[in-house]
Amino acid sequence: MPDEFAHLHVHGEKSITDGAGKFREYADRAARLGMPALAGTDHGNANDGRTLWEECNRVGVKPIIGSEIYLTPGTDRRDRTRVRWADGGEADVSGGGAYTHLTVLAGGPDGLRDLFELQHLSYTEGFYSKPRVDRDLLRMYGQDLIILSGCVGGELGTRLRLGQLDEADETAAWFAETFRGRYWIEVMSHGNPWETDLNEQLIALAKRHGLGTVLTNDVHYLDTLSAPTHRAMLCVQTQSTLARPAMSFGDGNYSLRPAREMDSLGLPKESSRNTLVVAEQIGSYDEVFEEGLQFPVARLPDEFEFAEDYLHARANAGLIQRRQGFPTEQDRRQLQYELETICNIPGAADYLLVEADIIEAVKAEGILVGPGRGSAGGSLVVYALGITDLDPVAHGGIFERFMNPNRLGMPDIDIDVQDDKRDRVIEIIRELYGDNNVVQFGTYLTFGAKGALGAAARVHGKTFEQGQAYARQLPEPKAGRPVDLADYTGLRDEVYDTAEGLFGRIRGQGVHPAAVGIAPPGYRVERSIPLRRPGGVGPLVTGYVDHVMEEYLVKYDFLGLRNLTIVANTLKFLKQRGVALTLPLLPGECNDRKTYEQLSEGYSLGCFQLDGTQMRRLLRRLKPSEFGDILALLALFRPGPMGADADDYYADRKNTNGGVWSDDWAIHPELGEALRPALEETYGLIVFQEQVLQVLNIICGWSYAEAALLFDAMRKKNIEKMDATRPNYEAAGLRRGYSAESLTALWEVLVPFADYSFNKAHSAGYGLVAYWTAYLKANHPVEYMAATLTSVSDDQDRLPEYLAECARMGLRILPPSINGGFGFSPGDGGIHYGLGAIKGVGASVYAGIEETRGTRPFSSLRDFFSRVDQRALSLGTLKALVASGALDTLCPRREELYVQQTELAARAIRWRAESAFGQRSLLEPTFPVWPRGMYSTTTRREWEQQYLGVALTTQPIELGTTRRVTQEELEWLRNVLSRNPGDSPVWLLIGGRKMSLPSANWPAIEAAIESVGIFDVSAP
């Protein structure tokens, strides 16, 4: 009989770094072995439930969805105490006393929903080391669950191993009573000697309580061949090596064993047969998986019954506001047309209204939202609703690139927000729509080729360098496609074998960087989708990944963008000194000459999308002078257009003859004038997708909606569809008087360009952010670079690069300032290092300093010492503050403060007492004057190196040394001086003499330096 056993205890990949098999593989094997059913019981979750259901259905095996859950050791789920049943040894309660294991199977659709809800509660209420449930929850949600008593780490197993027979009986009795007819005693035999004794006890106990036994194998991998992969995985998890594993399953067989093997384990035949009895008890889950998509529901004002009506009203009002009260007739018609298209899609009106509400709430908190990205910038409705800030009329976006009335689908909008506020954005969404209705989509991280080799090398005890050597035998990734391990060119040794086993398997879980789902009111997400709440707090995360989630909830994308944080922080710095800036949103407003000059010189380091070396080269060639050039740059700077030399053509045509239209640019002489309106702005080149639609509109007379269909076929290289459309294209063109020859020429240009072309609406959104960053860098360099340095302060590669850029820009890097921020902050003629960078000043001390400072910067040493939090006055902290230069702004005599630390601390106590009693000495204290000549750059540099990791004080060259200044130094000096107004003195140390020189006197300085030698430049 082939069907005498079914596996009811199986760990897939969602038992992360413990289950080495995939349900796809398990299902295939179960079918091959002739097994009628297959259960999935991952640790603490049913995240692979849907996969199991699909894979089993595919091969005609009955799916059984379950979980090996964590049960509290008799305690309340909210109680976070560890419990010991004996002396705390190896055999005691698992997880250091936090939980026991229990195998739970969903009996049918209700059971499956209960299982999902249990998972949700185990995270939300029971999380302690693991997501846990307690007996109360089991009773409440157990009506349709089938319970197997669990593995050796189960409550029963633990009691029996500890010899606590009475307690074991109590456990069995409680479960037998609570789950009448649905509680089974689980027996396992993997080949471990101690299992025999345990099984005898379990069988005796089953008899005592009149319970059936069920034989399971604790399946952790597919077959015996994949056992080594599982061993390696456990070593990855426990960061140990195969030679000395920190956790091991021993030599037992934990694979999906055939029925005859299970039968030969010497356990009662009945326990094998009971697996089929259990499988019989399970109903179909289909209805849970066939619920269909749930649309978000917008909140409507009382006077509206339908979202569509409210959308109309709100979009119309928004348009009037956007157009300062006077929308054109064209605008009104376009809005109406878009609204009709949108309202033809079920749920789309709600979707957009919800998005608009969120963005309104986010902006109300002063969080910077990107102007728009993707094709959404082509929609006037989306603009009128305030979802994007891209005026499609001004920016040349086309609605049909966003939504095609000929092929309706839910709109897809991506929103960028400043990355340091993304968590707050999710919180705002939860506040608007309810914690349980807002879920972030989960992701799973898999071993890539490089990761697999690295992990394999580690578990084989290789050094990091040896691991790197393996990774070097992989080809470079091409066009963003991940590297296949099969392309490995090195020796195929045991490390490679292990890597092959790990490659493509899950090694961890994460959260999608953008995708959020919002369920309608009344929809119980936790009863349809397995959820988790990382660490037991914060937003819910789905156990399903995004493409599965798309069957359940409409996706909203909120992506954190670092550059928006930089812009927001720059604006904050500017506001602090009374400069209020409004960011430009229209092409015509992006016209600052200085910005384009800087870009044309290639000084774009730190600017969004314009930062790379290659891009800087292109900037210098192309010499952008208007906003359209930035758009073109973003569109051209990709392998396709560059491979076709489109960037060269653009640069040449723009910079020859003042960029005036030339007939030579025409795709075909006959088409030159006709296509000029569409292509003039890009010098006759097709750069943007929107232009393809315009060209087809002009030549064939097609609407954008019709043209978009052909465009999609071209872009997807759908030859069949292209061939089918070509006769229509030619017929339409001929009808409008174009020759067959010219139509062929155009077709041949269009096909590759459709592929290369870029979404203009997207370019416009990103172009604006790029322009903002370039504008701020050119016009407010101190504030902008301070914000930029802060954003890369943890990036060891980029920080030095940006610090060097500051030097090139003539911005001095100053020591941290007690009045500055945790990150870099603008100072007088330079940028202060962040207080957060000082070693020995923790975040809590900084928070204390910031709190006492409030909006009133410290004005003097006395002011600082009498107000500041006591923690900042510990000797260690004080020393760090002084030595790093953080108090320089209050008292530049750093060395004096340093030698008097103890006295200072004592004096501070007196000051505090005085200010507490309202007394005030009239005079600031005086310090003994530091002897002349004792000022030592060397000491300061040592201190800075020690406390900041970088020496900021410039090192003067030894007296008497002469050498010529390098070209680089000259350049740097020229910059410093040109950016220093004449009245803020620049000090030059020339030949041992310190000279204060006005910056205007550059030729003299140059001459001095060139003749004398070298120098130290510093501001006092």
Nearest distance from C-beta of residue 119 to Zn ion, angstroms: 16
Q: Which is nearer to Zn ion, 10 or 518 (CB)?
A: 10
Stretch that binds Zn ion, among 130-138, 148-156, 717-725, 744-752 (CB under 5 A): 148-156
User: Is 690 one of the binding residues for Zn ion (CB under 5 A)?
Assistant: no
Dist CA 868 CA 876 (whole Å): 15
Dist CA 964 CA 967 (whole Å): 9
Nearest distance from C-beta of residue 68 to Zn ion, angstroms: 5
Dist CA 584 CA 29 (whole Å): 61
Nearest distance from C-beta of residue 762 to Zn ion, angstroms: 48
User: Is 706 one of the binding residues for Zn ion (CB under 5 A)?
Assistant: no
Alpha helices in 601-688 (DSSP H): 613-622, 627-636, 639-643, 646-655, 672-679
Dist CA 455 CA 464 (whole Å): 10
Residue of 7, 50, 77, 101 that binds Zn ion (CB under 5 A): 101
Integer angstrom CA distances of residue 776 from 567, 581, 790:
8, 10, 15
User: Is 186 one of the binding residues for Zn ion (CB under 5 A)?
Assistant: no
Q: Which is nearer to Zn ion, 153 or 411 (CB)?
A: 153
Integer angstrom CA distances of residue 415 from 352, 384, 390, 400, 564:
12, 16, 12, 19, 12
Integer angstrom CA distances of residue 469 from 463, 465, 483, 490, 491:
10, 6, 16, 9, 11
Q: Which is nearer to Zn ion, 152 or 880 (CB)?
A: 152
Nearest distance from C-beta of residue 39 to Zn ion, angstroms: 11
The residue sitting closest to Zn ion, measured at its beta carbon, is: 151
Nearest distance from C-beta of residue 274 to Zn ion, angstroms: 18
Nearest distance from C-beta of residue 43 to Zn ion, angstroms: 7
Dist CA 263 CA 753 (whole Å): 65
Instruction: Please identify which residue in the block is written with the tokens 């109300």.
Output: 364
Q: Which is nearer to Zn ion, 146 or 417 (CB)?
A: 146
Q: Which is nearer to Zn ion, 217 or 609 (CB)?
A: 217
Nearest distance from C-beta of residue 868 to Zn ion, angstroms: 54
Q: Which is nearer to Zn ion, 218 or 629 (CB)?
A: 218
Nearest distance from C-beta of residue 227 to Zn ion, angstroms: 16
DSSP category for residue 835: G
Of the candidates 360, 357, 354, 311, the residue with the CA atom closest to the CA atom of residue 335 = 311
Stretch that binds Zn ion, among 16-24, 151-159, 595-603, 753-761 (CB under 5 A): 151-159
Residues 525-564 as x/- pattern, contact with Zn ion by CB under 5 A: ----------------------------------------
User: Is 218 one of the binding residues for Zn ion (CB under 5 A)?
Assistant: yes
Nearest distance from C-beta of residue 100 to Zn ion, angstroms: 9
Nearest distance from C-beta of residue 219 to Zn ion, angstroms: 8
Nearest distance from C-beta of residue 153 to Zn ion, angstroms: 5
Q: Which is nearer to Zn ion, 42 or 389 (CB)?
A: 42
Q: Which is nearer to Zn ion, 67 or 418 (CB)?
A: 67
Residues 152-171 as x/- pattern, contact with Zn ion by CB under 5 A: -x------------------
- The structure tokens listed for 107 are 């009996």
Nearest distance from C-beta of residue 9 to Zn ion, angstroms: 6
Dist CA 865 CA 890 (whole Å): 11
Nearest distance from C-beta of residue 646 to Zn ion, angstroms: 58
Q: Which is nearer to Zn ion, 20 or 438 (CB)?
A: 20
End-to-end distance of the chain based on CA atoms, in angstroms?
A: 93
Q: Which is nearer to Zn ion, 111 or 153 (CB)?
A: 153
Amino acid of residue 75: T
User: Is 145 one of the binding residues for Zn ion (CB under 5 A)?
Assistant: no
Task: Tell how many helices (H) and how many strands (E) occur in the chain.
Answer: 45, 19
Q: Which is nearer to Zn ion, 151 or 632 (CB)?
A: 151
User: Is 151 one of the binding residues for Zn ion (CB under 5 A)?
Assistant: yes
Of the candidates 589, 97, 66, 598, the residue with the CA atom closest to the CA atom of residue 285 = 66
278-281 — which CB contacts under 8 Å span 24+ positions?
278/6, 278/8, 278/64, 278/105, 278/146, 278/148, 278/184, 278/214, 279/6, 279/8, 279/36, 279/37, 279/62, 279/64, 281/107, 281/146, 281/182
Stretch that binds Zn ion, among 165-173, 216-224, 737-745, 993-1001 (CB under 5 A): 216-224
Residues 298-357 that bind Zn ion (CB under 5 A): none
Stretch that binds Zn ion, among 63-71, 76-84, 358-366, 367-375 (CB under 5 A): 63-71
Dist CA 962 CA 965 (whole Å): 9
User: Is 68 one of the binding residues for Zn ion (CB under 5 A)?
Assistant: yes
Q: Positive or negative CA dihedral for 405, 407, 413, 414?
A: negative
Q: Which is nearer to Zn ion, 26 or 775 (CB)?
A: 26
Can you give the binding site for Zn ion, defined by CB under 5 A? 68, 101, 151, 153, 218
